[in-house]
Structure 1
């Protein structure tokens, strides 16, 4: 193989792998130096000139002229008599530059060069693909199904890069056939057989979050923020959202007119039931909203232990818990509080604290509301020392309040 033939074959790689000119030259030079170093133990004294656009490749070896009989390194030195055969006026200590033809390196070296080139081009290509995949982590992409296996399906993007959608990353109701165009989120990038491979998912929370960004302009524009997403893939999801513009209802914007915005997402998720709630820092209200569609009678919040006892009417219990416990599970994940559901007969014939506003100051009532105590019996159910700790109200005031509330239930709460 001559220099021109090598360049021609190398250009085929350039167009196939879409390698830019600078990297093309660097790869070719590095590969030639590897061969020279293997053959001569060093490539430092070689100049390699590559012009892939014109198909030019030149290799020049530089050697220092030494006195006859004192040659120590044939690769870097040349005897005076040999140098004078090239040019008669060479003297000891001068540098002789000679052009090296590729054929002179020998068949084994040329074969090694071709293998080295192929290896470095593939390495370059794989590195580029890896970077491309890495930059897409967390993004939704459209891919085409081209091979279906028992544990995963193989898909390709528009550039024919191969990716994997594992069975465990699919929605339970997903069913694909060859040629289908599907949406999936790039979850991570692995290496398999020295090649980068993107692992896709349709199952995690980020997939749903990115679908919302695609479908709802207010989210992609930053007017509405997604605070948290929790889902049981293919079954149910709960999303809390917050608007940064008082004129925009975040829940209404996400649902759209007659569900026009949320319905395409529901279809993409194989009819996953999606609850969208308005985020609030008021934990009592946040828990109430998170348990929708159930209606809450009363709740007792323990902020220190991050748990809450929620009391609902008998007909609301199944709604609060949900099918297979899905509603309470997602509400717990969304709020970060362990939620316990109880039938509210404990608070039958209870009285709202607001009814005592003529006897208890509003700022005191607010402290009870803040910890989820809205009725007389919810306060009386607490030990006094716990009420003092949680409300930071003085002991004598707590005792007075308890006394006022007890009078409401005289003859009924003898043991409180």
Structure 2
């Protein structure tokens, strides 16, 4: 039974294709030697021969031949009579090498040996998995959804290793069932309770960067560089690109003929809108491009405080801000500037009313807050959705409702 148990353990070792042979041999020999040291106090007179392919091993003990009755250490010495029973030619002072059978160690020692081997195998697997994925941080992994829980998804890679995608690393509109194929990027690898945890992400900007590398050969080859990516997963992303070859249009190359290249990325990201922007060191031009699709009339830059005041036509304000304020938020993150949007005063709607005209009904400090987000007229406030107005002004909901009521009544 003991031999069968150990044979099974050897078989487990043979299945660990990712662990190199010298490591296997070293671990196996180390476990056997620890058992010998525990039983005899020393292992320096033992030779251990391991055959992983066959799943067997041999233990040979070397002892010095001494006169009968002079054996002081049975583990290192053997009486002449006993030595001659092994081979007639042995004489005092020579070395006898004989095989030690596993059964000689006793059942408890064999069980302990198997437990140690199993523990070392498990430890090897964990360390190997940790090292493997530590080197793959930033790579896209394709796996199979094995289990879907409320807070995370369990994914199996092509070797059956377990990876997880927390809810926070999933695109809000992601929906997967068991057995689905999923793509994500490795964002971190950590040891938790002595077990490796490999965390994948579909919301990381790195995931979008790797998708571009897969779809756009010029990026993979280094002709085009991605300077920066900012995302609101599932909603909108902005990608700044630059070409090192004047003959290559970086935006055109990324989008492809009729959007052929970018469509695959958009589908993978659950129809996330992706704006590809030509990077430039000219900050005014960069901000103008970042606020696309809005058309900018003029920009005033405050480099010291990293702020930009953008002036545009009234009908362009909503485009600049974007749905949910996503466009202006991402433009600010991409350029590194706090962007304030203003309507051009000289093109103000004749029917519109300046906010300063409402000081009798609206507190002046509230008007200042509204001006601070780029609204200087009644209609410019009313053009912004209620939820976005609350978010951007940080005013109480009741206050915002009252302001809207007052402004709307002006045009009734």
SS in 1 for 2:111: helix
- Give the conservation status (yes or no) of the 8 Å contact 2:9–2:114: no
Structure 1 equivalent of residue 252 of structure 2: 252
| Residues 35 and 181 of structure 1, relative CA distance in 2, 3 Å threshold | same
- Give the deviation of 1:235 after TM superposition: 0.6
Corresponding position of 1:9: 8
CA distance in 2, matches of 1:55, 1:146: 33
Which ranges of structure 1 fall in alignment gaps of 5 or more residues? 349-416
| Residue 36 of structure 2 corresponds to residue 36 of structure 1 | yes
Asked if residue 194 in structure 1 is aligned to residue 162 in structure 2, the reply is no
Q: Which one is further off, 315-324 or 256-265?
A: 315-324
> Residue 114 of structure 1 aligns to a residue in which SS?
helix
**1:151 CA drift (Å):** 0.6
Contact 1:293 1:319 in 2 (8 A): yes
Partners of 1:196 and 1:103 lie apart in 2 by 37
Per-residue deviation, 1:343? 2.4
In the alignment, the residues of structure 2 paired with residue 36 and residue 313 of structure 1 have an alpha-carbon distance, to the nearest angstrom, of 86
For residues 89 and 251 of structure 1, the distance between their equivalents in structure 2, rounded to whole angstroms, comes to: 87
Give the deviation of 1:293 after TM superposition: 1.4
2-structure distance, mates of 1:328, 1:76? 82
- In the other structure, the counterpart of 1:116 is 116
CA contact (8 A) 1:294 1:320 kept: yes
Q: Within 5 Å, which residues of 2 pair with 1:210-225?
A: 210-225=210-225
Partner Cα separation in structure 1 for residue 132 and residue 325 of structure 2: 41
TM-fit CA distance, 1:39: 1.6
CA positional deviation for 1:278: 0.3
Work out the CA distance in 1 between the residues paired with 2:134 and 2:283. 38
CA contact 1:313–1:345 (8 Å) conserved in 2: no
Q: Give ranges in structure 2 of 5+ residues lacking alignment.
A: 349-412
C-alpha distance 6-150 of structure 1, shift in aligned 2 (>3 A): closer
Question: Hey, what does 1:298 align to over in structure 2?
Answer: 298
Equivalent-residue separation in structure 1 for 2:13 and 2:278 (angstroms) = 54
After superposing the two structures, state which structure 1 stretch, 160-169 or 231-240, moved more: 160-169
8 Å Cα contact 2:171/2:233 also seen in 1: yes
- RMSD between aligned alpha carbons? 2.6
3-state SS of 2:316 partner = helix
Q: How many residues align?
A: 346
Q: TM (normalized to structure 2)?
A: 0.77
TM-score, normalization by structure 1: 0.76
Question: Aligned partners of 2:92, 2:29: CA distance in 1, in Å?
Answer: 31
The CA deviation at 1:6 is 6.4
Following TM superposition, by how much is the alpha carbon of 1:82 offset from its aligned partner in structure 2, in angstroms? 6.0
How far apart, CA to CA, are the structure 1 residues paired with 2:279 and 2:301? 18
CA distance in 1: counterparts of 2:11 and 2:280, whole angstroms: 60
Alignment of 1:141-290 (within 5 A): 141-290=141-290
In structure 2, what is the Cα distance between the partners aligned to 1:35 and 1:287? 70
